[in-house]
Amino acid sequence: MGIAVAALAVISVIFSLCTGDISRLSEGFSKSVTDSAELALTLACSMTFWSGIMRVAEKAGIVRAVCRAVRPVLRLLMPDVFKNDKAAGAVSMNVAANLLGMGNAATPLGLAAMRELEAARCSRRSIALFILLNTSSIQLLPATVIALRTQAGSASPADCVAPILFNSAAALAAGLIMLFILYAGKGRASCSFSH
């Protein structure tokens, strides 16, 4: 990727030298730096705000309530994981954090859940399913996308919520179908209590 970016930069400099329009390259560079700094600040402020809101939600017990709500579905999808309390708790917390749109806060929870799944020697099917749940990342409130749309000057930045939910659900459904086809009859083995 770095080579591709460097090649594009060299080609643009050569092209601007050949056309004699180096000033437009300088203007574009200055504008890009300014725009990227503004975007980084906007995203940082948005993430800080939503992380604070989610921390309040966690303290108020909302995260635990969502965690309890998703447990029956996860128990049905990953029966072997729920034979190990630590693995089950880690997976439930990560899925709840993703549902609440915690974004960056969900990443450490996901890493902890993967460690617990591996330590409990859960089936490959359950690990693949956990990865699918993370990559489809259904979010009830996609705060980062809303912040990006706000930064871009959208008149109604939250209009993207329904299409994002639909696309995420469709991706999850397609992934589940493929996962159950690929792992048909596999992955029913229990997690072992090795720790």
Q: Give residue limits of the domains in the chain.
A: 35-182
Burial class of 149 by CB neighbour count within 10 A (0 to 12, 13 to 18, 19+): middle
- CA atoms of 13 and 15, how far apart (whole Å): 5
Residues of the chain with pLDDT below 70 are 46-47, 50-51, 54, 102-105, 185-195
Question: What's the pLDDT tens digit per position in 79-96?
Answer: 888 887 788 888 888 888
Question: What's the pLDDT tens digit per position in 133-146?
Answer: 888 878 877 777 88
Say what the pLDDT of residue 103 is. Answer: 65
The residues, any chain, with a CB within 8 Å of residue 129's CB and separated by 6 or more, are 77, 78, 176, 179
Say what the pLDDT of residue 44 is. Answer: 77
Please, are residues 164 and 142 in contact by the beta-carbon 8 Å criterion? yes
Please, are residues 160 and 147 in contact by the beta-carbon 8 Å criterion? no
- Cα 128 off chain centre by: 16
